[in-house]
Amino acid sequence: MDLGIKGRKAIVCASSRGLGRACALALAEAGVDIVINGRDEAQLAKTESDARAFGVNVSVVMADVSTPEGQQALFAACPEPDILVNNNGGPPFKDFREIDREAMLAGVTMNMVTPMELIRACVDGMGERGFGRIVNITSSSVVSPIAGLDLSSGARAGLTSFLAGVSRTVAPTGVTINQIMPGAFDTDRLRGGFQFASKRTGKSPEELAEARAKSIPAQRFGQPEEFGAACAFLCSAHAGYITGQNLLIDGGAVNKAF
């Protein structure tokens, strides 16, 4: 399917690896010029090379997207984005009793305040030009909380509620705002979680991964490419009537009807 966004410009945050990288590559395949971002120079270089293979322009911004300097660098590389994909790392697994005030503020900054700031910086320009697609990568834990990820879940749930109203105010300008809530995707973050759990349980990471996969109705982990394709569609010319929505992609793991 031609997504109708060839020649558009996108900023994809935290896109050197994992789900952010998958979104960047899917947009590049659709003909979108992209700005990729991360803090790992080697990973950024690989993603840049892979994206350029689609014949699009690729700019690289090595920075922490949660800092004012990082955000300024993104918009310096792409002053008038048509597409913004918000993504950022989340707080690590930790019992809520061990989270102090400083960690709380850092988690909320990463997973709620940062995407709000980036949206505020570009949404009016998108509206003036009559086209905008904003996709926020959150988590299935927004609707099915995971003990130990309470700070991440809470911050992303706050972002979701905040944008539920915002998305409807900008809809008349041709700008859509949606969230994708990933479940278990085969990424470095997921595998790192199994390594962490292995130290606590004494079970091997392979055992833990197999048990987790079997607990999912689809009987497997999602592939990042599947996620990237969904993101690209929400950014497409065909998705202009989809806004204020939360797309759960988890292989059926969250057992709910609505």
Average confidence (pLDDT) per 10 residues, the chain, 258 residues: 97 97 98 97 97 98 97 98 95 86 94 98 98 97 89 95 98 98 92 82 91 96 97 98 98 94
Strand 132-137, strand 83-86: pairing: parallel
Question: Does 75 lie in the same domain as 149?
Answer: yes
Q: Is residue 128 part of a domain?
A: yes
Range of the domain at 177: 9-184+223-249
Question: Does 40 lie in the same domain as 22?
Answer: yes
Question: Does 123 lie in the same domain as 95?
Answer: yes
Question: Does 236 lie in the same domain as 215?
Answer: no
**CATH for 152:** 3.40.50.720
Q: Is residue 239 part of a domain?
A: yes
Question: Does 174 lie in the same domain as 91?
Answer: yes
DSSP alpha helix (H) spans, 30-183: 41-52, 68-77, 101-108, 114-129, 150-170
Q: Is residue 137 part of a domain?
A: yes
- The per-residue pLDDT for 195 is 84
Question: Does 44 lie in the same domain as 18?
Answer: yes
- The per-residue pLDDT for 90 is 83
- Report how many domains make up the chain: 2
Reading phi first (left if > 0) and then psi (alpha if -120 to 50, else beta), residue 252 is in: left
Maximum pairwise Cα distance, the chain: 56
Q: Is residue 255 part of a domain?
A: no
Question: Does 82 lie in the same domain as 192?
Answer: no
Q: Is residue 258 part of a domain?
A: no
Question: Does 111 lie in the same domain as 193?
Answer: no
Sequence-ordered list of residues with C-beta below 8 angstroms from that of 126, at least 6 positions apart, any chain: 81, 82, 132, 134, 170, 173, 174, 175
pTM summary value: 0.95
Q: What tokens does 4 get? A: 């109708």
Q: Is residue 79 part of a domain?
A: yes
